[in-house]
Amino acid sequence: MARIRLTFFCELDSQPLDDLLTSALIADLAHMNASLSMGLRDLSEQRARVVQRLNRANIPVVAWLLLPKEQGYWFNLENAQQALAFYASFKAWSAQHGLRWDGISLDIEPDIHEVTRLAHGDFRLLPRFARRLFDRRILQRARSLYIDLIAEIQADGYRVDSYQFPVIQDERLARSTVLQRLVGIVDLPVDREVWMVYTSFVRRNGAGLLASYGPQAQSVGLGSTGGGVDGDFGKFTPLTWEELARDMRLAWYFCEDIHIFSLEGCVQQGFLPQLKAFEWDYPLLIPERGLAQANRFRSALRALLWVGTNLGAILFGAFAGLLAWKTAQAILRRRHGGQN
């Protein structure tokens, strides 16, 4: 069986993190040869001690950089400067405590306040979206700052990961930046890109989306089993064990690098024994109907993004065609009149 690289996301404050990562759980991670992507919700002494425990146990830990919620929490178009400042603080904190990191991750998602308001039906943000959509300089400035940050991280000797929604691939195929400008995300050149294909949020056809994006993915993020900030967006039902097992096997069919959100959710639901004994090489049926639906959705999305990107050229072409038709009609009328 091919080697599987398994990483668990963990997005807890320091005290719950300390409580969760017992010696027994650290031993379970070692048994699974798993890595941990730790969401840095603070840079505290207590969190540093937890990282030191993981370092001593030789558990690879990825520093998942996060901002305070008042700054947007995830990295996006409008907080690149804060992201640079946070990395400087993170470096000083890591050096102070002698922490070792397997890599650094940039979580690229819209502003958490925007997501929360939209989830609760507040659409008064539309003017803000329109401003970003029509001001290309916002994306250009943000991307330049993030590229500088990536270069700095790599110069410090770290691999750079990013967590992206998989629709970023459709934006690339459409040669568009409409989606980035509209929702505030940024397409970045990193060493490893993890596509967050969380079927818990699209249960009706989650497996189809996973089957559609899986073959193109460098790494796949699965979930959610609970935890993190999911509760901020209203009622949420985490994956069952059967759903997670299906997603794990389906993802592995396409990709050997798999992330699971989240460790705390898996522990809370009692999934660790099954995960430790998990049989990856197991009969699997590709969800053909769901795959076809997902591919149709993606084709429509790419067409929409292409139209949005080329709207000016389309309108110009339509106007030029109308003008040419009117001119031809006028010439024909003059000729017809002259013959009479």
| pLDDT tens digits, 94-119 | 999 999 999 999 999 999 999 988 88
Residue 86 near residue 67, CB atoms below 8 Å:
yes
Beta-carbon contacts of 171 under 8 Å, excluding residues fewer than 6 positions away, are 177, 178, 179, 180, 187, 305
Q: 198 is in which domain, residue-wise?
A: 5-309
Tens of pLDDT, residue by residue over 123-136, are 888 888 888 988 99
339 domain-assigned: no
The model's confidence at residue 1, banded by pLDDT at 50, 70 and 90, is: very low
224 falls within a domain: yes
Supply 66's token pair: 């996060």
Q: What is the pLDDT of residues 317-338, one digit of tens each?
A: 554 555 555 555 656 666 666 5
Q: Determine, yes or no, domain membership for 218.
A: yes
Q: What is the mean pLDDT of residues 173-194?
A: 96
Residues 6 or more apart whose Cβ sits within 8 Å of residue 50:
14, 17, 18, 21
| Domain assignment of residue 326, yes or no | no
Read off the pLDDT of each residue in 170-174 and give the average, rounded to a whole number: 97
Supply the CATH number for residue 276's domain: 3.20.20
Query: What's the average model confidence in pLDDT over 197-217?
Result: 94
Average pLDDT estimate for 17-27: 98
Q: pTM for the full model? A: 0.90
Q: How confident is the model at residue 282 (pLDDT cuts 50, 70, 90)?
A: confident
| 8 Å CB contact between 275 and 32 | yes
CB within 8 Å of 40: residues ≥ 6 apart? 47, 63, 64, 65, 66, 90
In a domain, 289, yes or no: yes
63 in Cβ contact with 88 (< 8 Å): no
* pLDDT band, very low/low/confident/very high, at 204 (cuts 50, 70, 90): confident
Task: Determine, yes or no, domain membership for 333.
Answer: no
Residue 336 lies in a domain: no
Overall average pLDDT of the 299-310 stretch: 93
The number of folded domains in the chain is 1
Cis peptide before 14 (omega within 30 of 0): no
Domain assignment present for residue 98? The answer is yes
Q: Tell me the per-residue pLDDT of 26-76, one tens digit each, with 9 for 90 and over.
A: 999 999 999 999 999 999 999 999 999 999 999 999 999 999 999 999 999
